[in-house]
Amino acid sequence: MKKINKIVSGILGLLGIFLLTTSCDNMNDIQSKYTNLEEQIYLGKVDTIRMWPGLGRAKITWYISADPKIDQTIIYWNMRKDSIVKNFVRNAPGLQRDSIIVENLPEGTQLFEFRNINSSGQTSLYSSASVTSWGENFAKKLYARSITSQVYVYDSLKFKLGLSKTFSGDSVVYSQIRFTDSHGVENNIRINRVTNSLVLTDFPEGGELQFRTAFFLPNRGIDTIYNAYKIYTAPKR
């Protein structure tokens, strides 16, 4: 019985030595693998990104870190199918602001990704931010003024108009009327937001006018937005 126990103990000892040797070899292989790799050095990444929407475009600002090795910033969008390269010129040590306006964007929300690079092939980690570019559908959702009353005076060729009121926070800047008078001259009239009535002179009987509203969203965008022209017609006798 003692002989059997000695045999079992011997087998277990050999097995333990084998497992320990195998484990050490595997550990050495892993260490050797990563020891031979060069340390990855990243450039400073883009920071403090701000976005301002525009009509089919967007303005973007960001900050570059104090890293002196940065040469360019690549901006990607549309699942990285589209991109633009912005050369970086350092003017002073420390953080430095940079900006660009990206044109020809479709209406809707876009995800932008930023990566700094240099001529040696070094890159930064990605930074990202989203912005919604504006289009016709956006303008349709804004509160627009309308012509609420129309009185045409035949004898004097005057067209008297009443306009809907504006209110605080509506983003209306002004409204615009376009028409051709009885002498064939085209008129473009800009109506400020506090004017609620006006009279068009030399307006032809049965003539048409076009009316639209201009909007600007303070602290949100870079462009003035217009809704579509609406046509109004003077009566005929």
Give the Cα separation of 84 and 57 in Å (integer).
Answer: 13
DSSP state letters, 79-100: TTTEEEEEE----SSS-EEEEE
63 and 92 fall within a common domain: yes
pLDDT at 99 over 70: yes
Q: Which residues of 134-151 are buried (b: 16+ CB within 10 A; e: fewer)?
A: beeebbeebebbebeeee
Cα–Cα distances in Å, from 45 out to 30, 38, 114, 129, 161?
Answer: 30, 21, 8, 13, 57
83 and 150 fall within a common domain: no
159 and 198 fall within a common domain: yes
118 and 146 fall within a common domain: no
pLDDT at 1 over 60: no
130 and 172 fall within a common domain: no
CATH code of the domain containing 82: 2.60.40.10
Tell me 120's DSSP state. T
Indicate whether 84 belongs to any domain: yes
pLDDT at 22 over 70: no
Average pLDDT, the chain: 87
Task: Summarize pLDDT for 59-90 with one digit per residue, the tens.
Answer: 999 999 999 999 999 999 999 999 999 999 99
* pTM more than 0.95: no
pLDDT at 169 over 50: yes
